[in-house]
Structure 1
């Protein structure tokens, strides 16, 4: 039986806590050394990941033609931003009371509490995060504008290389990284409060996912003049399939089959479902915003609207870069977390652990929401056909 990423992460957290309770400091420093090396490699690969996934993502989307593409991309982006804003206001309102009993002081300077590695190897990235983002936008939009198949194929090949690095190196080593972080934090006496935060944030995120799906299907149902609950029930097989696969791409066959049942034009679903699996990640955005604010709360950092809004707006674009592997969304977002929210290695590790423990629920929310947007696009497409018929 395949031992998936989520069970490995959970096992890594449990073993990290147990080892951290009984292991001597020299052994913990061995894990800290691995974490330092892995974290530096992660910092090196992030700009390449951004270029490797955003460039072909924008280039491929831009190559499509027609009003349907533009509307689908615009609505998907607005849905993703709406999900981020919902998460922000919920976290802003609930975290002060939910996490009130947890001491911020013990998280104030985590790098001082954690044991240091035996040695470090500097792995300087080729460029900064914002430079990589700007370069990706310029090249991606340029490929779409000049319709260059050569450059698009080249960027696709580069994306495949980065995808292999993530799938064969980063994802397999993530549990070891999480293990080392939790062993170190347990040794420093921090892990009890962190686990308490995990449970509370996890519960809030699941509630937000369900609430946002109701919002999406209320809008879609009103346009289609159908019962939103009935539409949600029709899409439920896609939700539960995504819980198992943890991949929007792997769930496309089921999402497409169910999506065709809630629209009147099957051709619309044929177009929108595969596209939305790539560009619409509302559930993942809810998770990323909630988890990032929880980590910032733990560190005593400010998370005002003026700080989080630019992050959410950029997150909506960067989610196009999320590769089709478990945990891909958080990997694509690490650059923004570091450059816009000031995350350090310890905060990034906590963020990854928080995100991956509920990654399957975020993916399930993503693919189920794709059905709602497909229903909206079906309505827009039918109105366009009716207008052309009258003309």
Structure 2
């Protein structure tokens, strides 16, 4: 029998979620929301452990060159994020005067309030925050490599095996159901259509920019790996569709990691780079934030001069690292910058949150797909 792979299951979950969301009564949607809440809490609990489980043995096993690869990974991720913001700025600055002519600012409520609530919730507090997990991973990974400790490396590898088991037996099988519930709830609430109907042109431009930037990233990755960039991009597509449903780079790490290992030569590089990039590389989210912010500023009659937007883009690349691995995390982390650097008031901020959350999945999907390209570049650097 042909195996029903992860990608078909994800696509099926998305389609069924939209169809069921159109006809299901609210009590049924609340059951889906309850499952999503529990599964989301479990993901929040496991993500710091997943980061430690992959990054520590990944860095430790690479050895003395780990510090160099870590630096290259962080530098390339930041450059990629800034490049995405600049692409969005120059495109929006060129197209918005004609695309949004005659539009005026309207205030929308936060779309999260329209979603059906869960029947109950069980708190699953993570042992530590994402940044704490990253710092511990760097400390122990580089430390293991520096002292060349075989017992500690074996312990880290054994812990990674446990995390792999959790991913394979719990997270991956339940992921399509989680995606199904998210799309059913969003469709039932009607939040996607009400906002997209007004900003369809902006969203269309954002998606085109996402695709264009992914092609740029994979063209570069393919050139350094001497492989067909379209073939590499096709391999990573399951991660794109997974992120489309989960709206979380961190929650998509298992799928991103699995697919990325097919386009790199050193699996150990993928083991530490993919979890790291899920936190620090947000090119898709940056494209979305810059595009949406400039659209709101344009409709408000505010200037979006390069001297104003470039420092904002530079700070986004740093500030969003603190964004939690949950839907809408990037825009929540960016609110302070929107208000302090771009002068957003309450109405503009509320609209920004509404716009971003509605299409957050596309930015996240661009983020994780780009992670594969950067990992491939870092893998090539590590071969030198």
Separation of aligned partners in 2, 1:278 and 1:341:
24
**Any residues of structure 2 matched to 1:321-332 within 5 Å, and which?**
321-332=322-333
Match of 1:246 in 2: 247
TM-score by length of 2: 0.61
Give, in angstroms, the shift of residue 101 of structure 1: 3.2
Quote the residue 1:211 is aligned against. 212
Deviations 1:113-172 (A, max 9, x none): x9xxxxxxxxxxxxxxxxxxxxxxxx99xx99xx79xxxxxxxxxxxxxxxxxxxxxxxx
Other-structure match for 2:320? 319
- Look up the match of 1:70: 71
- Is the 1:99–1:197 contact (alpha carbons within 8 Å) kept by the matching residues of 2? no
Deviations 1:175-195, CA, capped at 9 Å, x for gaps: 9xxx9xx9xxxxxxxxx9x86
1:334 counterpart residue number: 335
State the distance in 2 between where 1:303 and 1:342 align: 11
Q: Distance in 2 between matches of 1:73 and 1:262?
A: 20
Q: Which residues of 2 match residues 240-319 of structure 1 at below 5 A?
A: 240-319=241-320
Instruction: Please give the secondary structure, in 2, of the residue aligned with 1:302.
Output: coil
Specify the alignment match of 2:221 in structure 1: 220
Give matches, 1:40-119, under 5 Å.
Answer: 66-102=67-103, 104=104, 107=105
Task: Say if 1:348 and 1:376 are closer, same or farther in 2 by CA, change over 3 A.
Answer: same
Gaps of 5+ in 2: 1-12, 23-54, 60-65, 110-130, 141-184
For the 8 Å contact 1:81–1:312, the answer to whether it is kept is yes
Conserved? CA contact 2:244–2:364, under 8 Å: yes
- Equivalenced residue count is 259
CA contact (8 A) 2:196 2:203 kept: no
Q: CA deviation at 1:196?
A: 5.6
Counterpart secondary structure, 1:357:
helix
SS in 2 for 1:323: coil
For 2:77 and 2:320, the matched residues in 1 are separated by 11
In the superposition, the TM-score normalised over structure 1's length comes to: 0.60
Moved over 6 A (4+): none
SS where residue 201 of structure 2 aligns?
helix
Offset of residue 237 of structure 1: 0.6
Q: 1:170 maps to which residue?
A: none
Distance 1:325 1:249 in 2: 8
Q: Deviations over 1:321-376 (max 9, x none)?
A: 11111000000000000000000000000000111111011111000000000000
2:196 and 2:237 map into 1 onto residues whose CA distance is: 30
Partners of 1:225 and 1:251 lie apart in 2 by 27
Deviations 1:284-310 (A, max 9, x none): 000000000001011000001110000
CA distance in 2, matches of 1:249, 1:354: 22
**Following the alignment from structure 2 to structure 1, what is the Cα–Cα distance between the partners of residues 326 and 378?**
27
Cα distance in 2 for residues equivalent to 1:365 and 1:336:
22
Measure, in 1, the Cα distance between the counterparts of 2:196 and 2:83. Answer: 28
